[in-house]
Structure formats: C-alpha cells, structure tokens
Amino acid sequence: MIIKKTDASSKAVAALGLLDRSGPTQFQQPAPARPQGGPPRPEMSEPEARRTADRMLQQAQERSLTVEREAYEKGFAQGEKAGMELANKKAEALLQRYQSSLAEFGRLRGDILLRIEKDVVRLAVAIAKKIVHREVHADPEIILTMTRIALTRIGEKSMVTIHLNPADFKFVLDNKARLGTASELAGITLVEDGAVSRGGCLIDTEMGSIDARVDEQLREIEHGLLGS
C-alpha cells in the first residue's frame, strides 16, 4: 500500500526533523557573559583550590610569626635596656652604701683603736704605779733621786720646804747632805706630810710649788699619752 503524505503530515515530519537536529540546545542555560577587555578565566579544580588555600594559610601563619618575633625582639631590647638602666641604678646605690659602710667602718675602727689605745695606756700607767710603789718600798734611794730632780727645777733657791711621806722623812733627813751643797741646803726645810705618797715629794718655794709626787708624775705621763 502506498501512503501519500499530505501537506499536514509533511509539515509535522519536518518539524520533528528540526527537533532532532536542534535537540536539547533549546533547553540549556545561556553561557555566562565573559568580562570585556580580558582573556577568559580558567576554572580552578578543587585540589588546586585546596592547595592555594593551604599556601595562603601558611603564608599568613609565617607572617604572623614574623610579626610576633619582631615585636618580641623589640620589646626584649627595650626591656633589656630598661633592665640595664635599673641594674645600673641599683649598682650605684649599692656602691654608695658600700662606700658609706667603709667610711663608717673606718670611723668605728678609729674609735675602737683609740679606746684600745687609751685602755692600754691606762693599764700601763696602773702597772707602772704598782712597780714604782713596790720599788720605793724596797729601795729608799728612790726618794733621794726624786727629791734631787725636783730641786733642779727650782731656779734661784731661797727658802724651800720639802714635804715628804712620814716613811721617807727619816731617810731623807739622815741623807740631807746628799741633796746639795751646804749653801743650797741652808734654806731647805724638811716636813712630814701624810698626803704625799712614798717615793715622791712636794716642794714649796716663794715662787710657787713643784709637785714631784709619784702618782702625780704618772698622771702627767698618762695625760700626755692620752692627749687629755
């Protein structure tokens, strides 16, 4: 059987043929417009995007560490300078206290030595007194020696009164001639005086007195050594 195509069927077939040729293109979304004035931007795959993000994160972390290190070094340098200044100030204050302590120690040492020296002098004088007192008791010649020395300190001898301890009086009286020449002895008077210790004498003249008592002689020596 031969079927003849009518005009309507021919048109339908032609329409189907067009649909087959154009197919799905009629239903696709339009392509996005490319930016004018530049080449087309290639699309980035997921691995590449991940690597790029990791690289940017690492760079940011490295930059952060660099900034932190620079800030720390700057702060450390400033802190070190401030610390050195503070240490220098503390060292200067410590040195001043040390020098003051040395000066105070020097003064204290001088005072101690002075007190020790005075104590030694007083001890020496006390020992000398004991020795002299023992010697004058054992050797009566000492009183004659002390009396002659005291008489030499008198310039022009006129009227002289010699005060002697009662224990020394008799010995000096018996040996009066040994005190000087006859003319010198003419104006000398010996008297007993309990206020005079043994071994010394007290001489009165018209011009004044001469204290030749042993204790007084030692006291003068002590004052001379102590400077008082």
pLDDT per position as a tens digit, 146-167: 888 888 888 766 789 999 999 9
* Sequence-ordered alpha helix ranges (H) in 165-213: 166-174, 182-185
196 closest CA partner among 143, 125, 127: 143
Domain residues for 146?
140-226
pLDDT band at 81 (very low <50, low <70, confident <90, very high): confident
pTM over 0.75: no
Number of domains comprising the chain: 2
Domain co-membership, 63 together with 113: yes
Question: Which residues, in sequence order, are CB contacts of 148 under 8 Å at separation 6+?
Answer: 178, 179, 180
Predicted confidence band of residue 101 (pLDDT cuts 50, 70, 90): confident
* Together in a domain, 97 and 147: no
The residue to which tokens 């302590």 are assigned: 101
Residue 39 lies in a domain: no
Q: Is residue 203 within 8 Å of residue 150, measured between CB atoms?
A: yes
DSSP notation for 41-102: PPPPPHHHHHHHHHHHHHHHHHHHHHHHHHHHHHHHHHHHHHHHHHHHHHHHHHHHHHHHHH
User: Which of the four pLDDT bands, split at 50, 70 and 90, describes residue 169?
Assistant: very high
Tell which of 123, 138, 153 closes a domain.
138
